[in-house]
Structure 1
Amino acid sequence: MFSKACEYGIKASIFIARESIGGNRVNLKQIATSINSPEAYTAKILQELVKSGIISSVKGKMGGFEMDPTTLAEVKLVHIIKAIDGDGLYHSCVLGLNECDAARPCALHKRIFMVRKDLQKMLEVTSMNDLIDDIDNGLAFLKH
């Protein structure tokens, strides 16, 4: 459903947010290890998240990546997905056709429309706090 980069971006954001709540900054190696991602690939993803204002990067010996714990309720999944993958999730053809819209639909266009609307709503309301709460309450996990 999401690109591999987006999956890593979501997992990295959750990891950084959880650590930030505890007052910790995390470095690239810690993040890559925690989400089972190659460091170089993770670095590129983190750059996009910093550029989009989702996470912050602090340079220096005590530096690392962090998120402002007071804003985690406002950081929604949709922000991370747009930062990494753009908004193609809502508009691109699920069958990969170049031309697909209501006037010239693919075979799945009408069937996927409501699913996309529900998905969009979920992504727009689900915050970092929601995801962290699920993990902290044992209802979800980040890593096998």
Structure 2
Amino acid sequence: MFSKTAEYALRATIYIAQKSSEDNKLGIEEIAKSIDAPRSFTAKILQLLTKDNEVISSVRGPNGGFYITEKAKGLSIRTILETIKEDDVFTKCVLGLKACSEAQPCPMHFQYKPIKQQLIRLFETKTIRDLAKELKTGERFLANFRPRKKTRVTK
């Protein structure tokens, strides 16, 4: 559904929101490793997200790194997608047709329309803070890994 750019941008933003603060900034290596993304690609994405410090803030230098302000944690997921110019999911035809519309619908237009509206509502109402909070329980994760099986200790 999303491009790799959008996937990594969402993962990075959520990870930074959960792990950082103005006093505890994160480095690019840690972020890339934690979200299972290539370092150089993550750097480019963070460059987009730090533009004007709207979503993610950054500080250069030895004590620098990336963090998210409390105000930015209240931003919607849609804002992240708009910031990286990946918000065409809200307007694009599900089959990728350029001329799909109410007047000239694709074969899936009317079935997909309510789903698209639900997606729009989800991305407009879910905040960075909401998703970061869900990670704290340990029931959600950001990287592609398999949880370790619990080993049984016998006496």
1:54 aligns with 2:29: no
Q: Which amino acid aligns with 1:58?
A: V
Unmatched tracts of structure 2, length 5 or more: 146-155
Aligned to 2:2, the other structure's residue is in SS state coil
* Alpha-carbon shift at residue 23 of structure 1 (Å): 3.7
1:33 is matched with: 33
Write the distance in 1 (CA, Å) between the matches of 2:104 and 2:62.
56
1:97 Cα offset (Å): 1.2
Alpha-carbon distance in structure 1 between the residues aligned to 2:92 and 2:128: 26
Classify the secondary structure of the residue corresponding to 1:96. coil
User: 1:73-130: per-residue Cα shift (whole Å, max 9, x none)?
Assistant: x221111111224321111111111211111111111111100111110111111221
Tell me the TM-score normalised to structure 2 length. 0.86
Instruction: Give 1:120's aligned amino acid.
Output: I
Q: How does 1:1-144 map to 2 (within 5 A)?
A: 1-21=1-21, 23-51=23-51, 53-72=54-73, 74-143=74-143, 144=145
| Superposition RMSD in Å | 1.6
C-alpha separation in 1, matches of 2:60 and 2:21:
19
Structure with max Cα Rg: 2
Q: Paired residue for 2:148?
A: none
**One-letter identity of the residue aligned with 2:11:** K
% of aligned pairs identical? Answer: 37
Report the Cα distance in structure 2 between the residues aligned to 1:98 and 1:86, rounded to whole angstroms. 17
Distance 2:121 2:98 in 1: 25
Distance 1:23 1:14 in 2: 18
For the residue of structure 2 that corresponds to 1:62, the secondary structure is: coil
- 1:138 CA drift (Å): 2.5
